[in-house]
Amino acid sequence: MKRLSRDEIAQRLAKDIPEGAYVNLGIGLPTKVANYLPKDKEIFLHSENGVLGMGPAPAEDQQDWDLINAGKQPVTLLKGGSFFHHADSFGMMRGGHLDICVLGAFQVSRHGDLANWHTGEPDAIPAVGGAMDLAAGARSVYVMMELQTRDGQSKLVDQCTYPLTGLKCVSRIYTDYGVFQIEGNGVVRVVDDCANAGLEQLKVITGLDLIA
């Protein structure tokens, strides 16, 4: 059994994005997906701060700090790209115009509840950004994360214990062990056992009654 690296998770996820899709990649791990989008397909990347048709990072001497992504890093604009203000940008999300968003997560429940914005610790300064809008608005919410925490606890859980970002919003979870689909009514299906762990071991790791 060989678990996927973070780049391999991004690569696996990128394979599932069809040509013509309007996609928002969340800050952090999901931004890696951009590196693996197939070059022969046209896919529209959306950034919450008002861009469609976002391109890759520029060379260092071409950086323009008026052209940044949600993580506030310099990006480029592809031919045919456009700019718009924040209310329109989030209207695209809530209005169901974005096909896919990819988010990181602390936890996802078997019902598709997502926790990714706040640890809930009393001294933590909460910051939500666009996470709740994406969770509520995108037609499909994909989560990209390692299946376990550093101390070996499953992040795919029966019930989230961290503060929620959205209810029943996640449809797929891409992890270092493989790809999981939220089927509804609390059923989770293993759609791709990328690390060849086997269904029984994945059941042990997650503590969930997974189906194949």
Partner 1 sequence: MINKIVQTLEQAVAGIEDGATVLVGGFGGAGQPMALIDAMITQGAKDLVIVNNNAGNAEVGLAALMKAGRVRKVICSFPRQADSYVFDELYRAGKIELELVPQGTLAERVRAGGAGIGGFYTRTGVGTMLAQGKEVRTIDGEDYLLEAPITADVALIKAKCGDRWGNLIYNKTARNFGPVHATAAKLTIAQVDDIAELGELDPEAVVTPGIFVQRVVQVQS
Residues in touch with partner 1 (CB under 8 A): 47-51, 64-68, 72, 77, 83-87, 89-91, 93-94, 113, 118, 123, 125-133, 135-137, 163-167
| Residue closer to partner 1, measured from CB, 47 or 206 | 47
19, 48, 146, 200: which is the annotated catalytic residue?
A: 48
Q: Nearest 5°: phi and psi at 26? A: -65, 165
Cα dist. 159→110, 191, 212 in Å? 7, 21, 21
| Residue closer to partner 1, measured from CB, 64 or 209 | 64
Written as six digits, the tokens of 143 are: 């989560």
| Residue closer to partner 1, measured from CB, 47 or 171 | 47
The CB-of-51 to partner 1 minimum distance in angstroms stands at 6
**E strand map for 30-136:** 44-47, 51-55, 76-83, 100-103, 107-109, 114-115
| Residue closer to partner 1, measured from CB, 11 or 91 | 91
The CB-of-163 to partner 1 minimum distance in angstroms stands at 5
The CB-of-114 to partner 1 minimum distance in angstroms stands at 10
* Alpha helix ranges (H) inside 63-182: 86-94, 131-137
The CB-of-42 to partner 1 minimum distance in angstroms stands at 21
| Residue closer to partner 1, measured from CB, 18 or 186 | 186
In what helix (H) or strand (E) does residue 179 lie, and over which residues does it extend? strand 179-184
In what helix (H) or strand (E) does residue 201 lie, and over which residues does it extend? helix 199-206
- Angle made by CA atoms 69, 6, 178, in degrees to the nearest 5: 120
Confirm whether 48 is a catalytic residue: yes
**E strand map for 18-60:** 22-25, 44-47, 51-55
Contact yes or no for 68/48 (Cβ under 8 A)? no
The CB-of-139 to partner 1 minimum distance in angstroms stands at 13
Mind telling me the catalytic residues? 48
